Amino acid sequence: MEETLVIIKPDGVRQKAVGEIIARFERRGFEIKAMKQTVLEEAVVMEHYAHLKEKPFFREVVYFMISGPVVCMILEAEHGIASVRQMVGATNPQEALPGTIRADYGFISGSNVIHASDCPEAAEIEIKRFFG
Ligand SMILES: Nc1ncnc2c1ncn2[C@@H]1O[C@H](COP(=O)(O)OP(=O)(O)OP(=O)(O)O)[C@@H](O)[C@H]1O
């Protein structure tokens, strides 16, 4: 079993897609190990997206992530990390495959509905970051 960290971003919460997104994970067999709705601290988001520090859209991403409540979840399943990433789809919703969460609910890269850990090392760090 593998745990992964998922964040439904402010645009996902604003368009009331939380229930439908959670239902997708439950149908796929994921267990919800923890879940909370919160408004993220700017410092936490800056740390989370530190790899984008030099990008021109860094400030935009940080402000977007603190622009409203998010829903953080720890999900668990066999091969959970890859499985969630597959369901989430490509970073740019315009390029995401039909049927993925970002294709179905997203608009542009800066408003792409959901984050999911991309490897076991990231999942471990992110679970600690968002759930202590
Ligand atoms: N070209 C872009 N313009 C605006 N925002 C972007 C762009 N590229 C990435 N982002 C934002 O930065 C976030 C992190 O980018 P990253 O390259 O780590 O992609 P990701 O791993 O698919 O996304 P996430 O870390 O949110 O799951 C993206 O989810 C998106 O919100």
What pLDDT, on a 0 to 100 scale, did the predictor assign at position 92? 96
For residue 91, the ligand 1 atom closest to its alpha carbon is 22
pLDDT of residue 109: 87
Average pLDDT (40-67) is 97
Q: Does residue 102 belong to any structural domain of this protein?
A: yes
Q: Structure tokens of 69?
A: 């409540």
Task: Give domain status of residue 51, yes or no.
Answer: no
Instruction: Examine the predicted complex and report whether its ipTM is higher than 0.90.
Output: yes
Instruction: From residue 87, give the alpha-carbon distance in Å to each of 9, 65, 76, 91, 110.
Output: 15, 21, 14, 12, 18
Tell me, what CATH number does 78's domain have?
3.30.70.141
55, 62, 91, 121: residue to mutate for ligand 1 pocket, most atoms within 8 A of CB: 91
The number of domains in the chain is 1
Check residue 110 and give its pLDDT: 87
Report the Cα 59 to chain-centroid distance in Å. Answer: 18
Q: Is residue 78 part of a domain?
A: yes
Q: Is residue 82 part of a domain?
A: yes
In a domain, 56, yes or no: no
- Cα(115)–Cα(24) distance, integer angstroms: 15
**Residue 65 counted as domain residue:** no
Domain that holds residue 27: 2-38+71-131
Q: Would 62 be classed as within a structural domain? A: no
The answer to whether the annotation marks 9 as part of a ligand binding site is yes
Give percent of the chain with pLDDT exceeding 90. 98
